[in-house]
Chains A and B, each alone.
Chain A
């Protein structure tokens, strides 16, 4: 099997794994596992803040906060969003993914922009790769990867571009799911559900868990109520989608 085929299979594997990941931290870890091979061991992602927002408002747009913390603080305090050449390119030409090298400072901000990039390098963010995106709501979003020494062949850049879209998409899914606020399932309901997902009958589940068959049924009914669905299949599908069982 060629290296290209192997990389492709890793990519598909990643995209499927990411859609079952239930935490933003988990998504970040998976992403870094993949990009660190190319010298990119840090990432940040979020919707693009308008530069006039206050530091606290700017932070609220961040989906993955993987920059070094002292750099993040410094960036916000210095209002670097105004001079950031990567943000500038994302907001002015949100077409394809790009290397940080292929950016230019906002007009009139050349000096402070250069200072910002030098300081980023001191914090381990010498080189990087950014993926600009547009959300369903029409907001600009981006995933930006950084590191000490990037070695990213063109073919791998395409794959990173692809997985970055899946990662940010999953992060939005998790965000909207947490807004839906399902009543949380109890541990016992989860135990029962896991066995239902394995195709076990009520009786089998009752034997496995050492509880009565009617108790199994009442757990299932209670879980169906929480998910507003009327049958076991829909319940299992909903629980998988919510990331409660795999």
Chain B
């Protein structure tokens, strides 16, 4: 199941967030070699981990199995402040547009190198459930170009925001994914799991 934790309440879950930041370090620094993010305490934390961020944590058997976070587009986010080169045209911002980042699954919970595994899929399902409950219609991503194919397979409407950039061995692109009426059904069909993955979800308003 997915737990949604607003950025102003992370202090209530110290163990979860210790595991979250350790997982982020393991995946992005150790595996993907984004050495800019390296930290001596093996916890990856950045300037966007503040009270405005929403954290989605996949908990399996009491441990943090996967993670994704979303940032409001009206505030500084990765595309505006960290990866502006990926942007050819400015993306419309507003309360209905959030940016997703740091999508990762713990190695123990991955199934195969390529497939849309159950924790990875649960995070995407949770992200869309949260979006629908929060009147969020568009999600900005900076991801490997191949993810556009997956987004289309999941019935998102996709708008590229810039050209492909070669970063290491990856072709990276920024894109805006719009949720359609068929997105959540398509995700649930692919996962063969039709129940909500976020328990007791209510529209959650962040502290301003």
**A interface residues, Cβ below 8 angstroms from B:** 8, 11-12, 15-16, 19, 95-97, 133-138, 141, 155, 158-159, 161-162, 165-166, 168-170, 172-173, 176, 229, 234, 237-238, 241
Contact status A161-B160, CB under 8 Å: no
Residues of B within 8 A of A176 (CB): 153, 186
Closest B residue by C-beta to A161: B164
What's the nearest-Cβ distance from chain B to residue A167, in Å? Answer: 10
Knowing A136-B116, A138-B114 are in contact, say whether A96-B149 is a contact too (CB < 8 A). no
Contact status A19-B149, CB under 8 Å: no
Bitwise interface map of B from 114 to 156 toward A, beta carbon under 8 Å scored 1, else 0:
1110000000000000000000000000000110111111110
| Interface size of B as a range | 20 to 34
Residues of A within 8 A of B88 (CB): 8
Residues of B within 8 A of A96 (CB): 166, 169, 171
Closest B residue by C-beta to A141: B149
- The answer to the question of B40 belonging to the interface, with a C-beta cut-off of 8 Å to chain A, is no
Bitwise interface map of B from 89 to 129 toward A, beta carbon under 8 Å scored 1, else 0:
10000000000000000000000111110000000000000
What's the nearest-Cβ distance from chain A to residue B177, in Å? Answer: 12
Taking a contact as CB atoms closer than 8 A, the residue among A138, A155, A238 that contacts B182 in the complex is A238
Contact status B171-A161, CB under 8 Å: yes
Distance of A15 Cα from B148 Cα, bound (Å): 11
Residues of B within 8 A of A161 (CB): 145, 164, 171
Q: Can you pick out 18 interface pairs between chain A and chain B where the beta carbons lie within 8 Å of each other? A: A15-B158, A19-B158, A134-B149, A136-B150, A136-B154, A137-B116, A138-B113, A155-B163, A159-B163, A162-B148, A162-B163, A165-B145, A165-B152, A169-B149, A173-B155, A176-B153, A234-B181, A241-B180
Residues of A within 8 A of B169 (CB): 95-96
Q: 12 extra interchain contacts, Cβ-Cβ under 8 A, other than A137-B116, A138-B112, A162-B164?
A: A8-B88, A8-B163, A19-B158, A96-B166, A135-B153, A136-B116, A136-B149, A136-B150, A169-B151, A172-B149, A173-B155, A238-B182
Contact status B181-A229, CB under 8 Å: yes
Taking a contact as CB atoms closer than 8 A, the residue among A141, A166, A238 that contacts B148 in the complex is A166
**B interface residues, Cβ below 8 angstroms from A:** 88-89, 112-116, 145-146, 148-155, 157-160, 163-164, 166, 169, 171, 173, 180-182, 186, 190
Contact status B153-A165, CB under 8 Å: no
Residues of A within 8 A of B160 (CB): 11-12, 15, 162
What's the nearest-Cβ distance from chain A to residue B83, in Å? Answer: 16
Distance of A16 Cα from B158 Cα, bound (Å): 8
Contact status A241-B181, CB under 8 Å: yes
